[in-house]
Structure 1
Amino acid sequence: MHRTNLSDHLVLIFGSLFLFLPVIVAFMTSTHTAADIHSNGIAITPGGHFFETYEKVLTQKGGFTGEITGARMVMNSLILGVGFAAGKIVLSMMAAYAIVYFRFPMATLAFWVIFTTLLLPLEVRIMPSYQVMSSLGLLNSYTGLIVPLLASATGTFYFRQFFKSVPEELLEAARMDGAGPFKFFFDILVPLSRTMIAAIFIIMFVYGWNQYLWPMLMTTDEKFFTLMRGIKSILQVWIGSQIPDYNEAFALAVLAMVPPLLIVVIFQRWFIKGLTESDK
């Protein structure tokens, strides 16, 4: 038994190190100069330019307009990630609540119509979505970045399954106490759903944070550039003998990993509970 536990731990440790190795390499490489990286490739030993590189990517203005900073791109990515996750949770909860508790005709059909949208990824509907946002004048805006992506079949499915597991006695007790639909939703269902909300928030935040194609299409103003666009724009600078700022690109990549990592670490218990258990 002891040997089995030891082998299990060794497998987990090896897997963790294997997954964490690219992060270590990216961090170590970011502490070298662009010329060193161009000449010697990626590094697994620390360089002597950590503070210089990270201060530059966070505070120094750059880009085509000379106005964008790494800190601004981090903020844009945070706004996109949080707005994306929060909006999806709100819409998913409302849709699931209507499907489960309001006995309207063809409620099951409505759910499956929503669920089949999983077969239509963003890339399939990206041009119609862009045309609508352009017609509404929402290009280069946070509204245009967030709103078209808020409808979530995945979130609706999870909340529907969760609401269906809530005992009917709670609904009957709420009716006897004179609670209406809004009071039942906000005072009973929302508190019961906090672990599920945390789990969905983590998933959707990471998905929104990592968006590249949609922000690239929606934004031409550098004030709305996200970290993903910033990394790509650095690597596109190859004009004549000019060397791309590889160290800054690696530094931005490391910074792009930090918020999702913190979110997962902080809410990991709620995340696991939300997907495996319930607090009803």
Structure 2
Amino acid sequence: MVERSVGLKVLTQLVMLLGVLIVAFPLYLAFVASTHTAEAIVQVPMPLLPGGNFVNTYRDALFGGGTGAGSTAPAARMLWVSLVCALVITVGKIAISLLSAFAIVYFRFPFKSFCFWSIFLTLMLPVEVRIMPTYKVVSDLGMLNTYAGLTIPLIASATATFLFRQFFLTVPDELVEAARVDGAGPMRFFKDILLPLSTTSVAALFVIQFIYGWNQYLWPLLVTTSEDMYPVVIGIKRMIAGGDAANEWNVVMATALLAMLPPALVVVLMQKWFVKGLVDTEK
């Protein structure tokens, strides 16, 4: 084992600390801005220490009441919309991908390979490519400004299907034979054997897909026109209008920080499962 010198350890720690400062400094500025009044932020130079307007700013951000030129929709409602959309997209993607991968690996039916490669080829057709026909279908079905319109077009996932398929192919055939001897049907085999074995993979995909659903911008921008259905990412954009002096930057920054909390909490709380699901090779 190669021993590291004290100087190398100090250098690596300094580089890591510098990287943390570079990443964290904009977040610190956003927090400082959220604790001052809108008038104080636009002054030159901008304050670098927290102010005393924390409670008022976050109250205006969460429950509305701002006077900026842009949208004054309450962030609490926008956070709820984003949370519902992210959870529906995440759970829907994982459920559909698990079942489709299970069918492709363990069932025999005509054109099975064709079906799999048809799913796989949809990787070439993200929502941005098919956005016009998808919008037309959603509009004709009356799903604009609805949770269904925000989530259903984004639920299918070829990536998750491919990952689960590759994992199911590594499951020993002996497990399948043992389940068949015990009289377990396909769905019982899926529920009692495959799902427990897939826990780490599901956890890793949950983190990835939750962040994907939370950060959606282009699709919600098209299908939402009512402030009641703005996800928080769209809400932040709608809050910015006119010149700098016309915007309540303290409320905007507070909303941006609030928007970061749910995905950050998901990553922190599921970090162990996320890393294990990406690197664990034991089956």
State the Cα deviation string for residues 12-34 of structure 1 (Å, max 9, x = none): 33323322222222112221222
The one of 10, 35, 55 equivalent to 2:14 is 10
Cα distance, 1:39 vs structure 2: 2.7
Paired position in structure 2 for 1:179: 184
Q: Secondary structure at the match of 2:43?
A: helix
Alignment of 1:78-157 (within 5 A): 78-157=83-162
The whole-number CA distance in structure 2 between the counterparts of 1:91 and 1:83 is 12
The whole-number CA distance in structure 2 between the counterparts of 1:7 and 1:185 is 50
Q: TM-score, normalised by structure 2?
A: 0.91
Amino acid at match of 1:101: Y
Cα distance, 1:160 vs structure 2: 1.1
Alignment of 1:1-280 (within 5 A): 1-3=3-5, 4-40=8-44, 43-61=47-65, 68-236=73-241, 238=242, 243-278=246-281, 280=283
Q: TM-score, normalised by structure 1?
A: 0.91
Moved more, 199-208 or 33-42: 33-42
The whole-number CA distance in structure 2 between the counterparts of 1:50 and 1:246 is 13
State the superposition RMSD in angstroms.
2.2
The question of whether the paired residues in 2 share the 8 Å contact of 1:35 and 1:243 is answered with no
Cα distance, 1:43 vs structure 2: 4.7
Residues 54 and 67 of structure 1: is their aligned pair in 2 closer, same or farther, counting only changes over 3 Å? closer
The question of whether the paired residues in 2 share the 8 Å contact of 1:80 and 1:208 is answered with yes
The whole-number CA distance in structure 1 between the counterparts of 2:100 and 2:282 is 21
Cα distance, 1:185 vs structure 2: 0.8
Amino acid at match of 1:77: S
How many residues of Structure 1 are paired with residues of Structure 2 in the alignment? 277
Residues 121 and 177 of structure 1: is their aligned pair in 2 closer, same or farther, counting only changes over 3 Å? same
Moved more, 185-194 or 259-268: 185-194
State the Cα deviation string for residues 76-114 of structure 1 (Å, max 9, x = none): 110011111111101111111111111234333322222
Cα distance, 1:279 vs structure 2: 5.3
Q: Secondary structure at the match of 2:42?
A: helix
Residues 229 and 168 of structure 1: is their aligned pair in 2 closer, same or farther, counting only changes over 3 Å? same
The question of whether the paired residues in 1 share the 8 Å contact of 2:72 and 2:239 is answered with no
Q: Which runs of 5+ in 2 are unaligned?
A: none
Amino acid at match of 2:224: T
Amino acid at match of 2:247: P
Q: Which runs of 5+ in 1 are unaligned?
A: none
The question of whether the paired residues in 1 share the 8 Å contact of 2:66 and 2:248 is answered with no
Cα distance, 1:242 vs structure 2: 5.8
Residues 179 and 62 of structure 1: is their aligned pair in 2 closer, same or farther, counting only changes over 3 Å? farther
Identity of matched residues, %: 49
Moved more, 258-267 or 225-234: 225-234
Residues 157 and 7 of structure 1: is their aligned pair in 2 closer, same or farther, counting only changes over 3 Å? farther
State the Cα deviation string for residues 189-237 of structure 1 (Å, max 9, x = none): 111111111110100100110111111211112111111121111112x
